[in-house]
Each structure stands twice: as structure tokens, then as C-alpha cells.
Amino acid sequence: MSVSKYGRSSAFRPRWWLRVSGVVPGLLLCACVGAVDGGPAGTTVDPRDAHYDPNPDPATCDVTASTGATRLLTRAEYERSVGIVLGVTTPLADLLPIDAELKTGSPFASNANVAMDETRLKAFEIAASTAATAAINAGTFDCGTSATRECVEMFLRPRMRRAYRRPPSDAEVSDLLAVYDAVRADGTARDAAAFALEALLESPQFLYHMEVGDRTAAKAGFVPLTDYEVASRMAFFLTGAGPDDALLDRVAAGGVHATEDVAQVARDLLGREDGRAHAVDELVRWLRVSGVVALEKSAEKFPEFTEDVRRAALEETSVFFEREVFEHGSSIREWFTTERAYFGETLASVYGAPVPVDGVSDWGDAPRSGLLGHASWLATFAGSESNVPTKRGKFVLEDLLCGTLPPPPAVAMTMPVAPPDGEHTTRERFEVHGENGCTKGCHDSMDPIGYAFEHFNAIGAFQATENNKSIDASGHIELGDVQGDFTDARDLGELITAGNTVPECFAGRWFELALARPLEGPDYCSRAKVQKMFVDAAGDFRELLVGIITSDAFRTREVCAP
């Protein structure tokens, strides 16, 4: 049985090598082209996607129905949703197997291509049993020792509604009561309630995201999702957990149906504490700096890179998103150009900057600006002892500009970049890439971008010189509508965000996150519309989320005729 519906990165790759995905057609990567020509035999383009233009005109293209994505909750979604269902918070995520990546290389998690197996089922059983026991021990079951059936039903119904993210049918209620009854026959009411809760948390209605739509309203291949399904999708996308009672009540009252109501609900969720926290978490993940706390650097070279510093680095980035997105309402352009910075004493000593007053600093004329001046990012994309410009350049190219590169050829693995020698600068050492015929093409598109950050060492501290030589952070970039010379990182931040490439790339990634599966041909038109909407909204993150949620792609699916 094949459940690898989305497992075809191999089919996608060849077509995408030569373009900047979904954004800028026509990027040429010199020697990388050779990799395509000498590339794998037997790769095929999925016929289903072949006739979809990856870069359609958003004004005129026809939206096609998107496929459903029945999939298991992620570990974080599971833990938080159980908390909502039972009203008792228990640490559970670590009991479950690790999540899959949304697609290869994605910073986001999604189990779109993961089938249930014996190991997982057992882990879910253990987690459910742990949570159910904790809930009963916390005294949530209040029907007494001689619980009446009415009381038990009253206990289960609201929990079933939160678990199923819709009101349960009478048949579902009686099925669950049957579990209670079976255990109750030879056990206590508390035991029986615990087993019923365990069964509830193991039920497929809870474990899977599953949106089948309102089939009675199917039209031209589209099925609108039910209001409950829209609310559920929205809650997971915006808060990382299933809907709570307040949201479910709102659905029941008809308040999550009309587009303007859906938009309002989205804004309300985004304004909530959990909505903001989840957005910040996902943004931190998108920047790929979540792991900075566990990042190891050479203890000899950087003894000052302590756990406190690493925590402070993550904190800076989190606070940045929190303040910029939710207080300043900054555009994505400002994320890369602003002089505002939010750090405390710990990081100030690494930056060699004065401790900010009221938590906000201003870089002024320093070469540092925006997100790419954060220690979290600079340290994550560097080596243990020294800078690796390729890493920083690759992030900018792939994650900000949506450019793609083929996997490195074998020769790249043994390509000698001389180790730090106390004499040459990092740039001098890495420029051997640009001289070598084999590595030139690909590294030409990564290293020069990375050189822009040479004023910052491998933990993100400022360096005016390296080995007594002055830093050369200048370069040239040419990638779609991003074209020009830059003198340093700050200049690069201005340059890359001058056009639409960065917002379009970002919007595409977030659209994929909303659907929680790799995009396919039928999604390209919807993606183009979302990208245009984000550009039109001047790169406002909150408007992007609302726009995605109110889009047809988010609220409909293709007809499934069982």
C-alpha cells in the first residue's frame, strides 16, 4: 500500500533546479546547470502537475480545488490539544515519535505523509493513558462513586466535542459510553471514566486532522469545508491546537461561516496570547534558529558562548517578532532593515553594545540591522570555530529568495577550504570556491551573499578586522528582481527586500504551512493569489494570515466520492 502521496520530491526537483520556485523564473546557476544535464535518469514529472503553470498570473488564473490532507497531529499539537480537551495540562510530546518535516528541508513539521504504525499506536496509547489518568487524578471526574449514566454522559459530551472539534453524534456518544460500561462492569466509576478518556484520546477523530467538507454543497469539483472544519483548521494554524469551547460555541451560533466573520475570528485568535505565542514560535522556526539554545561552539574559541547567551539569543529573536509583528505591525521588509533591536544585558556584552533602555536599542549606523543581525541567526549559520559564508548565503538564497540548488556534487565534500590559519580572512579562504571550476557555479550563488555578514563572527559578535586585515563585506547579487551591489549586511537587507521576491517567497511558504502539506499543481494559482495579496498588503504578516484563511484554498477541498 502506498501512502506516499506527497513523497515525490524526486519528481519535483529537476524542474525546480532552474528556477526560483514560484517567484522568479529564469535564474541560471552556471555549473549547477551541469548537474541537471548530467542528472539522474528516470526522473519523471508527475503528470498531475505537468500542466500547471508554477507561476500563473494571479489576476486571471483559475483556482482549482486543493486535495485533502488527512494527517496525524504533530507532537506539539497533540500535547496542547489534549490540554484543551481534558482541561488538564500534562507533558506528553516527548512520549510520541518525532514528527516528519512538512517536506524535505522544511523547517516546519507536518505528518502529511506519515501512516500509523505499531510503534506510533503504542506511543499514542501510552500518552492517552498518561493524560487520562492525570485528568482523573486532578479530580475532573465529579460523578461520584455511584455515577449515574446521565452524569457520565454529561462528563463525556463536552470533552468529545473538544476532541472531535465538532459536536459528537449520538452514535459516537453511545460507542464511547460502551467503553465506560465495559470497564464499569468489574471496576470503579473512576477507572471506567479513565478508560473512556483514554479511548477518546486514541480515537481517529482526535488523532487526525480530517476535513471531508459538506458534500451536499459540492460544486464543480469543490466541497466547502464545514464551519467546524474551518474553525479547526484555523485554530491549529493560528494557535497550534484544536478549538476551545469559546470558538466551538461561536461556530454553533453561526459565527464562523461568512467570509467577514471568518476574518474576524482569525483576527481575534491572533490577538490572543496563545495566537501571538504560536505565531512567534513558527516565525522563529522559519528563521531556523529554534535550535540555537543547544548550539555548540568551540569552547576554546568562544568560551563566552554560554547557555545564558544562547538563551538570550533566542529570546531576542522571539521578542523581536512579538514586538515588530504585534506592536509595530512592521512589514516583512522592516524585519530585515529596521534599526530596532530588543536584547538585554547578556547579549549586550556579546554585541559590545550598551544595554538598551526599556528593552529597545537602536543600531544607528552600525552595520547590523534587522533579523539577520541577530546572534541567533548569525551563530546558527556559522561553523563551530569560524564563519562559513556558504551557510548564511544558502539561507538567504533558499529561505528568503526561494531559490533552489541541486544537492552538492561528491567533489564538494572533499573540496579543501583551508582551515583558519590566523593569517587569512574567511573570505580569502572561501574564495577558492569561486576559482574552482567544479564548485564555482553553485558557490557563486551562495558565498558572495554570505560575505555580506563577515563583520560578524561565528557567535554573532562584531569584528572590524579579521587576523588584522580589514573586512570586505561587499558583493553583488543578481537573482530575479533582486539585483545590485551591496557593501555590507545592512545594505544587503535593503537590497533583497526592495522588490517583491522576499514577500512572495514568504507568502508561498506560509501558504504551504497553512495547508500543512507540500504544494501541488492545483495549488499554484491559489499560491499566486496569496502572494499577490501579501504584496498588496505591504507585507503585513497578520494580513497574510487572515488572507490565507479567507482564501478558497483554505476553506474548500476537492470532492471525494467514497
Partner 1 sequence: MTRSVASRWRVGTRRSFLRGVGAAGLALPFLRERAAAAPGDYPVRLIVCSVLNGLVPADRSDRWECVGDEKGLTLSPMLQALAPVRDKVVAFKGIDNKAPNPRRDNGHDPCLETLLRGYNQVSQGAPSSPSVDQFIASKLNAKPLGQLGVSVRGNVKSPFYSVQGGRLPVEASPHNVFARVFGDFVPDPGAEAQAALRRRNKRSVLDYLRTQTSALKGELCGHEKEMLDAHLGTIEKAQSVLDDVPVQAGACNPTSDPGNIDLGNQSMTPKIADAQVATIAAAVACQRTPVVSFSMLGDYQMEKYPFVSGVDPSKDYHDYAHSGAVDIYQRLAEWWIGRFANLVQTLDSIPEGDGTVLDHSLVVLISDMRVGGAHDINDIPLLTVGGAGGQIKTNRVLKYSSESMNNFLVSLCHVMGVNVATFGNPAICSGPLSRFV
Site for partner 1 in 487-546 (CB under 8 A): none
Please state, as a whole number, how many other Cβ atoms lie within 10 Å of the Cβ of residue 33: 15
Interaction between residue 210 and partner 1 (CB under 8 A): yes
According to DSSP, residue 468 is labeled T
Among 25, 204, 254, 434, binds partner 1 (CB under 8 A): 204
Q: How far is the CB of 151 from partner 1 (least distance, A)?
A: 20
Does residue 294 belong to the site contacting partner 1 (CB under 8 A)? yes
User: Can you read off the three cell numbers belonging to residue 440?
Assistant: 564555482
Using the rule CB under 8 A, is 163 a contact of partner 1? no
* Residues of span 120-139 touching partner 1 by CB under 8 A: 120-123, 125-126
CA distance 230 to 555: 6
**Does position 167 bind partner 1 by CB under 8 A?**
no
260 CB-near residues (< 8 Å, 6+ apart): none
- CB under 8 A: which stretch of 194-202, 222-230, 344-352, 446-454 binds partner 1? 194-202
Please report how close the Cβ of residue 314 comes to partner 1 at its closest, in angstroms. 17
Among 36, 61, 93, 116, binds partner 1 (CB under 8 A): 116
* Member of 90, 140, 205, 264 binding partner 1 (CB under 8 A): 205
SS3 of 170, please?
helix
Nearer to partner 1, 203 or 317 (CB): 203
CB of 207 to partner 1, least distance (A): 8
Is position 299 an interface residue for partner 1 (rule: CB under 8 A)? yes
- Among 230, 232, 208, which Cα is nearest to 217's? 230
Minimum Å gap between C-beta 109 and partner 1 is: 12
The three three-digit cell numbers of residue 555, written as one number: 476553506
Return the C-alpha cell found at 474. Answer: 561587499
3-state secondary structure string across 300-332 = CCCCCCCHHHHHHHHHHHHHHHHHHHHHHCCEH
Binding mask 28-67 for partner 1 (x = CB under 8 A): -------x--xxxxxxx----------------------x
Q: How far is the CB of 547 from partner 1 (least distance, A)?
A: 27
Question: What part of residues 314-373 is at the interface with partner 1 (CB under 8 A)?
Answer: none
CA-CA distance, 542 to 548, in Å (whole number)?
10
Number of residues that bind partner 1 (CB under 8 A): 74
The answer to whether the beta carbons of residues 367 and 473 sit under 8 Å apart is: yes
The correct pick among 62, 118, 345, 365 for binding partner 1 (CB under 8 A) is: 118
Q: Least distance in Å: CB of 15 to partner 1?
A: 12
Q: Report d(CA 538, CA 253) in Å as an integer.
A: 34
Spacing of C-alpha 542 from chain mean position = 15
Q: Are 56 and 466 in contact (CB under 8 A)?
A: no
